[in-house]
Amino acid sequence: MSFVITTYVPEALVMASDSRQSVKLERKNEETGEKLPVVETVSSDFVYKTFLLEKQKVGVSSYGDALLGGVNTESHIKRFAEEKLEDNDDVTSISEKLLEFFKEKFPKANTAFHVSGFKKEGKKSIPYVYVCHIAKNERNRVNVKPDEKEKIIYGSAWGGQGDVMASILNPGKAMGPDGKVHDVFKTPILWDAMTVQDTIDFTIYAVRTTIDTMRFQARPKNVGGPIDVLLITSKEAKWIQRKELHGEMSSGLGANF
C-alpha cells in the first residue's frame, strides 16, 4: 500500500509520497497443495512513488498495485516518458497519454496516479490536478468545482492509505455525552490563504502523521520510509526533499584496525 498526497493552493502544487513497498505472498502446503494464509510483508523502504517529468514540469505520483508485469512503477514511468512524451506535452495531454499507456499494457491493474502541473492559457498559468485510475479507466480533474468546471478550488487530494487523514480532516460522527450519535464538524483549513511554505509543511505533515499513526495501530505497517516532496509553481518544478542512493550508513561505532 502507499500514501500519496497533492496539495493545491494559489501559488503552488506540492506532491509527496512515502517510500514503502509491501507485497502479499500467496502460499500453499507443498505436500497437500492446500492454500495457506496470505502473508503481507514489507519488501522495501526505498521505492520512488513521485516522479518529475522535467521537460514538461509535470509531477506524477503512483499508488495501488506497484508491481505490474513483475516490474515496478518507476521503470514503467521512465519507459512512458521515453516512448510517449514530446517536449510540448502539457499536464492534460500527459494525463491522457499516461492512462492510455498503462491501460493498454495492464487494463485490470488497481493502480492510480496523481498528475499535476501548470498549463499556460493565454497569459495565465492555470493549475491542473488529475487523478487517473487504470482499471476504472477514469481521469478526473479534482481542483475544480464539480458543477463549475472552470471554477478552480484549493485543497488537498490523497490516495492509498487515506483513512488516517480522512479521520482528521473530514466531518464524521461521534458518541456524545447524552449517549447519542452526533455529527462532528472539523475546523476548516484556509487553503486559499496558505503560503507555499505552509503547503510544503502540511503535505509533509500528512504523510508523517499517516506513518506515525499506523505505527501504533493494530494493522499492517504498509506506509513508511523516507518522504519525497515535489514543488511545482508556474515558474519551476523542483524537489524539496528526495531520498538519494547511498552506500553503507556509518554507525560511528566502527573500530580502527
Banded pLDDT at 22 (limits 50, 70, 90): confident
Instruction: Report angle CA 5, 167, 52 to the nearest 5 degrees.
Output: 5
Q: What is the pTM of this model?
A: 0.91
Sign of the alpha-carbon torsion through 153, 157, 163, 165: negative
Check residues 120 and 27 and name the one with the higher pLDDT. 120
Q: Is residue 32 part of a domain?
A: no
Cell of 65: 498495485
Q: Is residue 152 part of a domain?
A: yes
Contact 9, 194 (CB under 8 A): yes
Instruction: Give the pLDDT confidence score for residue 187 in this predicted structure.
Output: 92
**Mean of the pLDDT values across residues 142-165?**
94
Whether the predicted pLDDT of 254 surpasses 60? no
Q: What is the CB neighbour count within 10 angstroms for residue 73? A: 27
Residue whose C-alpha cell is 503481507: 40
Structure-derived torsion over alpha carbons of residues 32, 38, 42, 47, reported in degrees to the nearest 10: 110
Q: Is residue 233 part of a domain?
A: yes
Using alpha carbons, list the distances in angstroms from residue 176 to 120, 166, 181, 251. Answer: 50, 20, 6, 51
Q: Tell me the per-residue pLDDT of 214-226, one tens digit each, with 9 for 90 and over.
A: 999 999 999 999 9
Q: Is residue 248 part of a domain?
A: no
**Mean of the pLDDT values across residues 76-82?**
98
Q: Is residue 213 part of a domain?
A: yes
CA atoms within 13 A on the CB side of 74: 8
Whether the predicted pLDDT of 253 surpasses 70? no
Q: Which of 36-45, 143-152, 162-171 has the lowest mean pLDDT?
A: 36-45
List the CATH number of the domain containing 124. 3.60.20.10
Mean per-residue pLDDT over the chain, rounded: 93
Number of domains in the chain: 1
Q: Is residue 55 part of a domain?
A: yes
Task: Tell me the helix, strand and coil percentages in the chain, rounded to 5.
Answer: 25, 40, 40
Q: Is residue 236 part of a domain?
A: yes
Check residues 126 and 40 and name the one with the higher pLDDT. 126
Interatomic CA distance for residues 22 and 110, integer angstroms: 15
Check residues 150 and 167 and name the one with the higher pLDDT. 167
The contacts of residue 161 (CB under 8 Å, 6+ apart) are: 1, 2, 3, 210, 214, 222, 223
Q: Is residue 19 part of a domain?
A: yes
- Domain with 123, as residue range(s), is 3-25+38-241
Phi, psi of 97 (to 5 degrees): -65, -35
Interatomic CA distance for residues 94 and 61, integer angstroms: 13
